[in-house]
Structure 1
């Protein structure tokens, strides 16, 4: 699963908000599909540039691009994928995003919403929002705040005084 970090969480939420507000969405277009919309948030590339990078190698959809991904190829699509991975994603995250299929995300949904359709905007928005919340919960669970209890409060906690009425 993705490495939880504030920038990735924010990008997932922005992507969901953009889609909810009507950003271009077309599952068969590499720059405006599930991964393409997230790529727009994580990189400086437009949907047209993302699509052109993908078509330049002629590998098909995101799943095929990820199967053939080579971090040292220098190909624009591989540089794009590397940038997304540097943001905290894994190739499995991207494959799951394209199909809306990560079990950990789906398990957080109400049972009647667990069968998402990969070519439906509202399902993509729900998936992205739920994923962002999952990563935020993971990130927050890793944070340990220092103990701000004073010495006096600690002493009182060890030997509570009896209150007689």
Structure 2
């Protein structure tokens, strides 16, 4: 599971809102699919740029994650590296593309856990649930002892 960072939580929420408001969505397009839309938010690259980078190598996001090399200078690897720097893990890219991370799905009622990976509404619901999960994990790390150094006047 991703590291819960404010940057990632914010990007998930913004991406979900953007999709909800009608941002271009096309599951079979590397720049307009589940990962592609999140990549747009995290990297400030366009749908077209992301797709162009991905097409320099074979495969979907799952295969791109499998073939990822941190020392490569291939544009798709640089893009993935930027996403990983925001807190994502390679496994998260695979789960996001299929909407199948068990921790995220456990936040839905049992009858609503069968999300369709290529349906905008399901992608939005998944991203919101994931952002909430990460925010809870982040807040759980904050303790009152970290605030003891603050003096109140």
Q: Shorter-chain TM-score: what band?
A: over 0.9
Counterpart-to-counterpart distance in 2, 1:64 and 1:96? 12
Q: What is the aligned partner in structure 2 of residue 107 from structure 1?
A: 106
Q: Does 1:133 align with 2:116?
A: no
Match of 2:93, SS state, is helix
Query: Structure 2: how far apart are the matches of 1:73 and 1:137?
Result: 34
* Structure 1 residue 17, shift from structure 2 partner: 0.2
Name the residue aligned to 2:13. 13
Deviation at 1:38, TM superposition (A): 0.1
Instruction: State the shift of 1:129 in Å.
Output: 0.1
CA RMSD of aligned residues (A): 1.1
CA deviations 1:107-145 (Å, max 9, x no partner) are: 011112100000100000000000000000000111112
Superposition pairs of residues 29-108 of structure 1, within 5 angstroms: 29-57=29-57, 59-108=58-107
Unaligned 5+ segments in structure 1 are: 149-165
Q: Could you tell me the TM-score, scaled by structure 1's length?
A: 0.87
Using the alignment, how far apart are the partners of 1:112 and 1:129 within structure 2?
Answer: 18
Unaligned runs of 5+ in 2: 149-153
Provide the rounded CA distance (Å) in 2 between the counterparts of 1:80 and 1:122: 26
Distance 2:109 2:22 in 1: 25
Q: Give distance in 1, aligned partners of 2:133 and 2:125.
A: 12
- SS of residue in 2 equivalent to 1:56: coil
Separation in 1, partners of 2:59, 2:91: 17
- Greater Rg over alpha carbons, structure: 1
Structure 1 Cα separation of the partners of residues 104 and 119 of structure 2: 17
In 2: Cα distance, 1:135 partner to 1:65 partner: 24
TM-score for the superposition, normalised by structure 2: 0.94
Secondary structure in 1 matching 2:144: coil
